[in-house]
Structure 1
Amino acid sequence: MHDADQNGKIRQFSLSTLSGAIAFATAISGTAYAAEIEEVVVTAQKRAENLQDVPIAISAVTGDNIKAMGVKNLTDLGKSTPGVEMNNDTPLQPTYNIRGIQTSDFTVGSDPAVAVYVDGVYNGRGAGAEVPLADIERVEVLKGPQGTLFGRNATGGAIHIITKKPQADDTTELSVTAGNYGRQSADLLVNRQLSDNLYGRITASNNRRDAFADNLAGGFSAGNQDTQTYRASLLWEPTADTEVLWRADYGVMDQGSALRTSIVPSLQAIDGGTDVFGDYALDTPTIEDRDSFGTSLTVTSDFENFTLTSITAFSKFDSHLQQDEDGTANPDYMFGSANFDEQEQFSQEFRLNGATDRLKWTLGASYAQEKLEHVTDAYFTAGSLESFAVYEGVKAAYENAGLTTTELEDIAVQTRQGMIAGGLEGAAVATFVYDLMVQSGQADQLLAMFGAPDFITASMLDREQMAAQLMAGITPWVMADTPWNESVTNTGDYRSAAIYGDFTWSLTDKMDLTVGARYTADEKDFTIQSAYQNTLPLALTGGDVDVLDPNGNVIGVLPIPAVPAGVIPAQPFGMAFNNNGVADLYQELDDSWSDISGRIVLDYRWNDDVMTYVSLSEGFKAGGFNSFSAAPGIDPSFDQEDVTNFEVGLKSSLFDNRMQLNTAIYSYEYDNLQELDLVGAPIPNYYLRNADAEGQGMEVEVLWAATDNLMLGGNYSLLDTEYTRYEVLTAAGETEDDSRVGQPRVGTPENKFNLMAEYSLDLASGANIVLRGDYNWTDERVGTISDPSRVVEDYQLMNLRAGWNSASDRYSAALWVQNVTDEEIAGGYGGTGAAIGASPAWRYMPRMYGADFTVRF
């Protein structure tokens, strides 16, 4: 595991850094007259409102700020948002974490816990959610359950991306960027007024960057970028009271996937001494491809007493994500994976909004259908199966030794190398296979073939001697690193319907009461088809094997004949077979869930500038299905999850709107949390289980227009999460794991804060210079659920930007640096490679720098 002692850098917030930032801000503030903070309009309550008037914890970032911060996607945005973590190494398997609530499932049997919307349209799959943030009006991050207005799968909150609509003017804008590591990107915007009531807008974006490290094994790169995105929209106003807005987007991604590097010291040494932050050695080509298309039609009509809104949308995407899961180029630890997705979804929402002197109300109904197919392929070798078996043996031998996962993995690698040197290659797989044959009864069938007496069972034979018998076929198979591939196909047909209402009464001139509720009904049809077409080259050396009594005493000898490979039926790991000799599993599953989720909010406006609120809100996420359900004792389905959140908040605009201070304190109970974990015996796999958790925290956001020229900002979040119930699979079935109770949730730092300073200087020529700095410090966090002791160290990030705008505003240019101090930061540990004792880690970007140039026509 990477830590501060290993690289000599202490990843903790330094008071000197904060002092320097404050001194810089004070020095440039001067005594100039202070400006007001610009109003931000949001649609968090399905109607346009001032951010400061909405009794919900919201972080809203405008398109201008997105540019100034150098933000390119939601992962970038998450670093500066309090209470939010979006630490994603790949856009095709993103995880969005709001206040410690997330779902990490990379398959399609479950839904995300944070709902992502683009222009009012829900995006059902994470593989289609991570979109470039070009030509964006704003991004709203709503924290806490949003089950009433945003519906299902918003247990943690909702992220709403709003793109810019066509305008009543003629504008052309071209922006280009160049930077280190071959960074090249360009954004083209064309807006036209086509007639008196028809406007059009087209944007085209591309982003390319080379890998920031070299593959010592050669042949391909990892971590490079290559995306293109195209958007078109038409706004038609047939009457003064009606607006018709059509949008469409098309995106192409064709790049190398995440760069993951082994964190096991002995494996690093075998690969030539690479570490998490140096060059790397991978043997599975990394691929990240996606073609996506979406279109929507929004019709808004104003009537005398209400507004009717209809949103009709269709989208689809095809994606292919292939990764090296072990982070090495060692064939004895070869583990690659590939996920293929095809998804399409249709949605329709009708909404009515109205208002009187004392009542604001919203009524709505929605329907959505999603059809999908997901294929998971796993690529191993016989050598990596041997490594898996060795690792399982090491874990059993050191079960009570108190060693960390990294230490166990390191011992397993050294043990494996010692077995190779000692001519014992294949011994671990042979022992593992024999144990499985005993458990499944196949070993007894094998003995019957050789004429063994009925009273002698395989469990009575000396285990090491029988494993040695099997090595005749298995040893050469392991030494050749024979390919071993597995595949699982899932299909899904999901339907969801809902009706909802939300009402805000003005009880007095200063106090409002909001009550809302939504009824949601979800139905899911799901299939699982697995085919394991591999065979084991079973053969027997031949010779006498001891027969033991229950106390381990030798009571006889059983002669075993020598049998060449191919004569004994070769069955992988005791699974059932069809008539073609292929181990397979096919399941057709269906289930339904329904829920009523609501909210009650009481807000009080003390004066025109200060508002406080108290809220109780609920969120609901439907149950689903495990995409891999071959392990004994695994329930193919899991229950729906529910979150109840209590919150007290403050929103204020102070000093003649020169300062905004917003804060929230909250506590939630999480029932039937859907937790992804690597479980199952004898072969572990990723399964979703239900657990319970709770969380408490607070968030503070401050924005201060210190002078006409200087804007200062900052935010801080405190979060404490823990499991209150956790179940794991054992040989005896489901049981609660008390050791997990009280442990924090994965990926949730306890403390996090950000600082921002932006100084604007007007030149005599009429041009303008803007200097901006952003600083983030994030506390340590648990990196993987399978080992809470594996902690991702705390880190700090600093970004700087210097921009220039011409007097005519026709030209703009900027120089920027991200991760100024070139911090070496691990984004996460673990992953699927942990199953074979080869856990990898992925890293944040090193120092990046470049220049932007924009011209407007």
Structure 2
Amino acid sequence: MKGSFFARAACTTSIVAITALSAVPSYGQESDQPAASAATGETAESVPGGNVIIVTAQKREESIMDVPIAISAISAEALNNQKIEGGSELLRAVPNVNFSKSNFSMYNFSIRGVGTKSISAASDPAVAVSFNNTPLIRNRLFESEFFDMARIEVLRGPQGTLYGRNATAGVVNLIPAMPTPDFAGEIRAEVGSFGTTRASGMLNIPLSNTLAARVAGAWTKRDGYDFNTFTGKKVNGRDLWSTRAILEWEPSDRFNANLVWQHFEEDDNRSRTGKNLCTRDPGKTMIGDTPVPVSQFEPVPLSSKFSQGCLPGSLYSDDAYGAPNAEALAFIAAGRIVLNMGRDPDKGNLVPAFLPGDPFADVVQSRDLREIATSYDPVFRAKNDVVQLNLDFGVSDDLRLVSQTAYARDRYYSSQDYNRFVSGPIFSDTTDLVGPFFGLPINQEFAAPGGIFVDPQLGASNRLLAIDISRSRNRQWSQEFRLQSDYDGAFNFNIGTNYLNFKTQDDYFVLNNAFTYLAYNLYNRRGTPADYIDCQPSTTEYDCVYVDPNPLGSLDEMGHNYFLSRNLVETESWAVFAEGYWKIADTVNITAGIRWTKDKKTTTPVPSQLLLGAGTNGTSGGSIAGGYPQGDPVVQKWSEPTGRIVVDWRPNLDFSDDTLIYASVSRGYKGGGTNPPRPDIDPFVVQFQPLPATFEPEYLTAFEIGTKNSFDGGRLILNATGFYYDYQGYQISKIVDRISLNENFDATVWGLEFEAAWRPSRAFRLDTNLGYLKTRLKEGAQSIDVMNRTQGNEDWVLIRPWLQVPSNCIAPRDIVEQVLANPLTSFGLGFPALSALCGGTAELGTFTPEIDGLPLYQFYGFEYNPLTDAPNGGRGFYADLEGNELPNAPRLTFNIGAQYTFFIDEGDWELTFRGDYYRQSKSFARVYNTEYDRLKAWDNANLAITLERPASQIAFQFYVKNLFNDTPITDFFTNSDDSGLTTNVFTLDPRIFGFNVTKRF
């Protein structure tokens, strides 16, 4: 398409309006014009006066019917009428798409089973999210809402030539509405359920014959979807706003430029995750034929050593609404077994730091996923800015040089209750306690008088308090140059180069008042009566743990009384690409493209330091008392080719108005990364099983055939696609030793997609799409399932280790039985003896490092080294995953939408009813495909009623989203071993209804 930019902008805008499948025809459009599919945005060129939607999927303007790619283009009107208000709802318009929030600051947008199951800061998304053709590595697609859009393009399949890295699965391209030559505006106001108040607007101002501006904004405020029964407050609410300003200048028909600024901001109590589920693991009372002894010398039941906290039961069972066995948590055991706060002067007995019993024993969670009971309400803040400069210079009538420069900055902060349920009292009353030898009163400064401990960050409480903070700060620069031809001959090309620089710091904190209590009293207490060391980050004369004295909002981030995972990553990427379009016959075209990408990723490791100190004769296992020293940077480099070859044929068929048939082979690539470093523990104290420090890139080779068809003068659109993927290195994370360990898996994927849009009359429209997907992990796929480390092998037993060892282990049943049968166990040595089987130094010196720093068992008469004598160093048996399905890859996805318009008072008023129904079949959340992993099928229905008077440019709309108020579990995340393997679940928004009024001028 040639001519001035403003002419092209006006033409494209009108085309989008004409072809959009909307409940209300755009003002000024011909009412008998066939409409596009909401999913495909298509209508036939053969209709007299008709047009097709223009897309930029190949980074040039062309009809969607001419693009040999599986693409869905959703117009602004279609977004409004289907109530697709954010990225999480795009799955309702595109086949074989799945979306769910994931842990920390991430989300998983997957296309054809390929998504982002890696949550490391060093990993990249598999679906490239672009704003106006500029890729954004970090974005607010999950949180932000669409406003003043021209369209959204979703390209399915690897787009490695023009979009490059991180487009293994496809591309989501957000195209904003651009300035036009005419003055125009729009105002919309809305009220609805949950106290919803929303407003949006747009103003388009021509400043001169060559200069125009467009400003738009949107604001949403809504009460919480969830109710916290403990605090009595509604949580998971929304308070967010966005704005965009675009300035466009066209001094001549050979040059145009536009400057775009978009800002998003949110500050509310949105919940980052849903409910925390758990099928409680009570532990074992028998190991083989040997009973687990109950000893009066063990302040914690020995059976809890064989509990992992939560069992891998179905998340749909009533049993899943429990809480973990807290006596299996190592920090609870430490406060009972090792830490005594003093002696009761009346009874003469030593008083442990923590009260006896399971503090979670009385937890009964509501079966309502929207009802929680937590001691801390969520805090959520996000800011995102994108600035883009686009220059388009006509070198000649048929040759254009395009420059796109973009800067993006993203800030994110989310804090919520870590446990997601309320414990019972935990701290022993230290009011009258005296020292064990001289009978002098103990120092109460950091004790718990009255059973209440004052944590410097979490405040005063007699309960177990734990919160987490997920925080990220990042920025991105990108530059792309393209030289594009538009010759009248048989050959055209698109060649270019680009550069991207991305820096991020992702921090994850877990703060727990029990951690602080142990830091003060297990490591920082000296003398009789108890005195406390003034432990500072630089302290070396004592083995102490520095406690951050600052409140939550102003941490010095030096404390070892909390867990901090800090991830520093810089990515630099260079690429050159070329794509040629050759018309070898009147009806046959060949597209061939290649891209060479050179990636450099620099990760600076920062080990965590929870309850680790340093000093003379240290026993905590740390190297410093406070602070988080950086390690040596890890530099990774890859140079990878990607590309595609497409043959498309436009036959002249008697039974269709227009048909396109294409076949393609394409290759996608996504860079690898580093696994975060494990805790900085002295190997003399803890012998870690080696884990890979890095993970490999992903590669995807895709074979695809497809057809696009128009019938009956454009009133019927039928599209079909079939594809097969050879997938190498799918990156998937799990928590091991308190880090996100990323593993690579090979798989095959094949599927089918069907899209249809039918408008038999001016009043009635129907559109539908169907996706079928079959995914399989390849031969040799294996992984250790942290929820089932023994894999049913009765000769091995799961054991919960001691405080310094983060992950559970397995040990030989015969050795465990010997330990249990030994008289020493009955005298209080059961806990340290069993802990030693996990490879960490247990209390009471039950073993000492010997050969090469590896432990030798002493008191029980045999030698055992888990690093050499147990499968995978004691981590567990591999689960055979061959033939398993990929996570979040439902076999079927289906959507159907229909609308009917009544023309009232000779067409002065138009009343439109629209309904949309979406369903996806069951799937799995993890690669293990166990009953625990199963996600049930779910559906979603939406209704909208719109009354419009075109002559007055005013419209009234009432809508209902999630009509049946369903609460499906869309995905989940398994937490760490040392928090009991609880499960964070994610779900949909509840039923929402709203009423809005729109006035255009």
TM-score under structure 2 length normalisation = 0.66
Cα distance in 2 for partners of 1:385, 1:773 equals: 56
User: What do residues 506-559 of structure 1 show as CA deviations (whole Å, max 9, x unaligned)?
Assistant: 11111111110000001111112134152599xxxxxxxxxxxxxxxxxxxxxx
Aligned to 2:670: 621
* 1:658–1:217 Cα change, 3 Å: same
CA contact (8 A) 1:325 1:832 kept: no
Aligned to 2:644: 599
Aligned to 1:285: 377
* 1:821–1:222 Cα change, 3 Å: same
Aligned to 2:246: 233
Give aligned-pair identity as a percent. 25
* 1:815–1:127 Cα change, 3 Å: closer
* 1:763–1:89 Cα change, 3 Å: farther
Equivalent residue in structure 2 for 1:778, among 920, 930, 946? 920
Cα distance in 2 for partners of 1:620, 1:629 equals: 28
Q: How many residues align?
A: 698
Cα distance in 2 for partners of 1:833, 1:80 equals: 36
Equivalent residue in structure 1 for 2:991, among 833, 847, 856? 847
Is 2:940 aligned against 1:797? Answer: yes
SS in 2 for 1:534: coil
* 1:91–1:752 Cα change, 3 Å: farther
SS in 2 for 1:274: coil
SS in 1 for 2:510: strand
Letter in structure 2 aligned against 1:856: R
Equivalent residue in structure 2 for 1:811, among 927, 948, 954? 954
Letter in structure 1 aligned against 2:592: V
Farther off after superposition, 696-705 or 846-855 = 846-855
Letter in structure 2 aligned against 1:648: I
Equivalent residue in structure 1 for 2:726, among 664, 669, 687? 669
CA contact (8 A) 2:71 2:155 kept: yes
Aligned to 2:747: 693
Matches within 5 A, 1:431-510: 485-510=562-587
- The structure with the greater share of residues assigned to strand is 1
Aligned to 1:749: 890
Cα distance in 1 for partners of 2:691, 2:376 equals: 30
Structure 1: runs of 5+ lacking an equivalent? 1-31, 387-425, 427-481, 538-565
Aligned to 1:454: none
* 1:796–1:706 Cα change, 3 Å: same
Letter in structure 2 aligned against 1:739: D
Is 2:711 aligned against 1:654? Answer: yes
Aligned to 2:136: 123
Matches within 5 A, 1:5-44: 35=34, 37=36, 38=43, 39-44=52-57
Letter in structure 2 aligned against 1:376: Y
Equivalent residue in structure 2 for 1:330, among 414, 423, 447? 423
Equivalent residue in structure 2 for 1:577, among 603, 620, 623? 623
Aligned to 1:530: 607
Cα distance in 2 for partners of 1:122, 1:301 equals: 22
Q: Give the superposition deviation at 1:88.
A: 2.3
CA contact (8 A) 1:168 1:193 kept: yes
Cα distance in 2 for partners of 1:684, 1:852 equals: 47
Matches within 5 A, 1:202-213: 202-213=215-226
* 1:110–1:629 Cα change, 3 Å: farther
SS in 1 for 2:147: coil
Aligned to 1:5: none
Q: Give the superposition deviation at 1:335.
A: 5.2
Aligned to 2:276: 262
Cα distance in 2 for partners of 1:381, 1:198 equals: 60
Bigger Rg, which one: 2
Cα distance in 2 for partners of 1:227, 1:262 equals: 26
Cα distance in 2 for partners of 1:764, 1:714 equals: 31
Q: Give the superposition deviation at 1:351.
A: 0.5
Q: Give the superposition deviation at 1:53.
A: 1.2
Aligned to 2:411: 318
Aligned to 1:87: 100
Aligned to 2:701: 644
SS in 1 for 2:215: strand
* 1:362–1:341 Cα change, 3 Å: same
Cα distance in 1 for partners of 2:105, 2:884 equals: 29
Q: Give the superposition deviation at 1:723.
A: 1.5
Q: Give the superposition deviation at 1:773.
A: 0.5
CA contact (8 A) 2:886 2:926 kept: no
TM-score under structure 1 length normalisation = 0.77
Q: Give the superposition deviation at 1:581.
A: 7.2
Matches within 5 A, 1:84-233: 84-88=97-101, 92-126=105-139, 131-218=144-231, 221-233=234-246
* 1:56–1:385 Cα change, 3 Å: farther
* 1:218–1:599 Cα change, 3 Å: same
Cα distance in 2 for partners of 1:74, 1:61 equals: 12
SS in 2 for 1:86: strand
Q: Give the superposition deviation at 1:775.
A: 0.3
Farther off after superposition, 816-825 or 783-792 = 783-792
* 1:33–1:521 Cα change, 3 Å: closer
Cα distance in 1 for partners of 2:414, 2:880 equals: 34
Equivalent residue in structure 1 for 2:86, among 58, 64, 73? 73
User: What do residues 713-758 of structure 1 show as CA deviations (whole Å, max 9, x unaligned)?
Assistant: 1000001112214353663499994522211111111011001001
CA contact (8 A) 1:271 1:281 kept: no
Farther off after superposition, 833-842 or 75-84 = 833-842
Q: Where does structure 1 differ by over 6 angstroms across 4 or more consecutive aligned residues?
A: 383-386, 581-585, 733-736
CA contact (8 A) 1:262 1:276 kept: no
Aligned to 1:554: none
CA contact (8 A) 1:621 1:641 kept: yes
User: What do residues 305-353 of structure 1 show as CA deviations (whole Å, max 9, x unaligned)?
Assistant: 3111100111112111224444322378865322211111111100111
